[in-house]
Amino acid sequence: MTTPTKFSSADLLVLQRQVLEWRDAQSGRPRLPAEIWDAAAALAQQHRPSSVARTLGLSYPKLRQWMSRARSEPPSAPARFVELKWVPPSGPSSDPVGWAELRDASGRVLRLPVGNDSQVLLALADSFWRQGR
């Protein structure tokens, strides 16, 4: 099994050579992998985006989109802590529903109905924490 290529985000000429090698190894004209766009966007922060796009043969508007995406996204790192809330059902009802809410560092939320059984919540938390091992 070959390891994926680490595309240079520090040297424009190295990245240019890597992109040319990648394109030569492909048949047809497939989409560039996200790793190339990420490296190009990082270099465009240091150099003029138009120069990076021209040197690498990339679409200038698409490079600008990748640059803005890189600025708006938080760095992808595994969550160190995830808030887990349990809201027990309130009031008498024929269909009692409690909710477990999982929220990660980027603000994404997963809300699950767990009824009024706290064992479901414990099983959910146990399953979640075991996945990280």
Q: What is the pLDDT of residue 81?
A: 55
Same-domain check for residues 67 and 87:
no
Asked whether residue 58 falls in the same domain as residue 95, the answer is: no
- Tokens 């024929």 label which residue? 94
Nearest-angstrom CA–CA distance, 18 and 70: 21
Domain count, the chain: 2
Question: Both 30 and 49 in a single domain?
Answer: yes
Q: Is residue 66 part of a domain?
A: yes
Specify the higher pLDDT residue, 53 or 124: 53
pLDDT tens digits, one per residue of 1-52: 444 568 888 888 999 999 999 999 998 888 899 999 999 999 998 889 999 9
CB burial class (10 A; 0-12, 13-18, 19+) of residue 34? exposed
Contact 94, 107 (CB under 8 A): no
For residues 103 and 67, state if they share a domain. no
* Integer Cα distance of 48 and 13 in angstroms: 14
In this structure, what is the dihedral angle of CA atoms 54, 33, 80, 83, given to the nearest 10 degrees? 100
The stretch 52-64 carries a mean pLDDT of 94
Q: Kindly state the average pLDDT of the residues 68-86.
A: 60
Domain that holds residue 23: 12-72
Strand pairing report for 109-113 and 83-87: unpaired
In a domain, 27, yes or no: yes
Q: Is 92 exposed, middle or buried (0-12, 13-18, 19+ CB in 10 A)?
A: exposed
How far out from the chain centre does Cα 84 lie? 21
Report the distance separating Cα 7 and Cα 13, nearest Å: 11
Encode pLDDT of 94-119 as tens digits: 555 667 776 666 677 777 777 767 67
Residues 63-68: what's their mean pLDDT? 90
Question: Is 5 part of any domain?
Answer: no
pLDDT of amino acid 91 = 63
